[in-house]
Amino acid sequence: MPMEKPNAQTIEISELKARLAEAEDTLNAIRCGEVDALVASGPNGDQVFTLQGAEMPYRILVEEMNQGALLLIPDGTILYANTQFARLAKTPLEQVIGSAWQQFFPRDKHLQLEGLLKTTEPVTPPEALNLMAADGSSCPVQLALRSMHSAGVEGFSVILTDLSERQHSEDALRKISVELLEKNGDLNAFSHSVSHDMRAPLRTMQGFARVLLEDYASQLDPKARMYLGQIETSAERLSRLINDVLSYSQLSQVQNQPGTFDLANLLRDIVETYPNLREANIEIVPFQALVRGYEVALNQCVSNLLGNALKFIPKGVTPQIKVWAERSKGHWRLWVQDNGIGIARKDQGRIFDAFSRLHSNEVYEGSGLGLSMVKKAVEKMGGRAGVESELGQGSRFWIEVPTA
Ligand code: ADP
C-alpha cells in the first residue's frame, strides 16, 4: 500500500507534540531539582529563567551595594570583601583579603567580635561599632552577621552599613533642638520678666486713676471723668493681658515629672476658687478620671475652658454649663458644654492660635491667649484639644489627657 504523504497539518501537530514533550522534560527537571530555575508568567506566556550562571550578576550586585560586605572563615580571616568595604577601611582590597577582620575595629571590641563568630543565629549588635580606616580615621558602622554553616560553606557573611551620614544628621538635629530650646527659654524668660516688671507701674497708674475718680470727682467735669473711666478700663485690660502672658510663659517652664491627678477633684477645686464659677451653677456629671500630667497645665486648661463657657454667652441668657468625662483608648476626655454664642465651622481651627479672637474687646473681653494655652498645655502632656460647635448653637470644648 502506498504511504500517505503527511500533510501540513500533521507536520504541525507532530512538531507541537515534540515541543510539548520538551517543555514537560524541562518542567520535570525543575521539579526534581535538577535545574535551578524560575518560571515567570507574563503577557507572552510563561518564561523560564535558569539560575545557572547567576554568580556573575550576584557579584555585580554585591559590588554595587552601598554597604560593605565580607565573607569570613570561622577564625575571622577575610575570604572576600567588596570594594565598598575597602573604601570604608581606606585599605587596598588585596590587603583586606586574607587579613583578620578584628584588625579593622578597636582593640577593646575584639572579644565582642569573637563572640559574634560563635553564634549560629543571624545577629545585629544593637550598638554601632567604629570601623578604623588605614589613615587613622574611623566611621560608625552597623554590623549584620549571618552564619553560613548551613549553606555548605563554613563561615560568616557580614554586612556593614555606614552610619556616619545618619550620625551627622542626628548630631545636627540635636544641636538645632538644643539651640531652639535655649532660644525658646530666653524668649519665655524675656516675656516673663517684661510682663512681671510691667505689673508694678501699671498698678500705680490704676491706683492713681481710681484716687482721682473717687477723691476728686466733684472737681472734674463729666468729660474728664469719662476719660479717667477709660484709663481705668484699659488698665484693667492690660493687667489681664499681662496675667495671661505670664501664665503662658509659666507653661513653658513646667519641667518637673508629670504626676497623677483626678480631673474631678481638680475641677471641683477650680470651681470653688473662682466666685464667678461657683455662682454659675455648673452641672458636673459625677466621674473619677485619673490622668497623668502637670497640675499647672491641667488647672489652666480647665479654668480657661470654664471661663470661656461663662463668657461667650449672649446678653440676657443664663449660662448653662455642663461638664463630664469619657474614657477612650488610653485617654480621659473632659467635655465642657455651654449654651453660648457658638463658633462657625470655618473659625474653629484658628481659635486655638495665640492672639486669635473672633470678637472685639468691646463685645467680649479677652487676650486671645486662653485656648492657645489650653492647646499648648494638653500637648505638653501628650494630649489634644478640640471643639464641636455651630454658630448660635452653643459649644462643646474637649481636652484629652493620658490616663494615669
Ligand atoms: P479669649 O477668651 O481671651 O478671647 P481664647 O483663646 O480663650 O481667647 O479664645 C479665642 C476665641 O475663641 C475667643 O475670642 C472666642 O471668639 C472664641 N471662643 C472661645 N471659647 C468660646 C466659647 N465657649 N464659645 C464661643 N466662642 C468661644
- From ligand 1's centre to the CA of 184, what distance in Å? 26
pLDDT at 33 over 80: no
Q: Give, for ligand 1, the residue of 321, 351, 374 to mutate: max count of ligand atoms closer than 8 Å to Cβ.
A: 351
With vertex at residue 17, the alpha carbon angle to CA 13 and CA 18, rounded to the nearest 5 degrees, is: 120
- From ligand 1's centre to the CA of 227, what distance in Å? 29
CATH for 66-162? 3.30.450.20
Asked if 161 and 67 touch (Cβ cutoff 8 Å), the reply is yes
**Cell numbers at 59, concatenated:** 557579584
| Alpha carbons 339 and 301: distance in angstroms, whole number | 19
Tell me which residue has its CA closest to atom 20 in ligand 1.
Answer: 308
Q: How is 117-171 classified by DSSP, letter by letter?
A: TT-SS-B--SS-EEEEPTTS-EEEEEEEEEE-GGGTS-SEEEEEEE-HHHHHHHH
For the chain, give every domain's residue range.
Answer: 8-52, 66-162, 165-254, 256-404
Asked if 310 and 276 touch (Cβ cutoff 8 Å), the reply is yes
Chain-wide mean pLDDT for the chain? 86
AA identity, residue 241: L
How sure is the predictor about 181, in pLDDT bands with cuts at 50, 70 and 90?
confident
How sure is the predictor about 91, in pLDDT bands with cuts at 50, 70 and 90?
very high
Segment among 43-52, 109-118, 209-218 with least mean pLDDT: 43-52
Asked if 245 and 191 touch (Cβ cutoff 8 Å), the reply is yes
CATH for 165-254? 1.10.287
Give the position of cell 510691667: 198
CATH for 256-404? 3.30.565.10
**pLDDT at residue number 26:** 63
Closest ligand 1 atom, residue 366 Cα:
3
Q: What is the pLDDT of residues 364-382, one digit of tens each?
A: 888 899 999 999 999 989 9
Tell me which residue has its CA closest to atom 21 in ligand 1.
Answer: 308
Instruction: Summarize the chain as % helix, strand, coil (round to 5).
Output: 50, 20, 30
| Alpha carbons 395 and 404: distance in angstroms, whole number | 28
Closest ligand 1 atom, residue 367 Cα:
3
Asked if 383 and 400 touch (Cβ cutoff 8 Å), the reply is yes
| Alpha carbons 389 and 373: distance in angstroms, whole number | 20
Closest ligand 1 atom, residue 357 Cα:
14
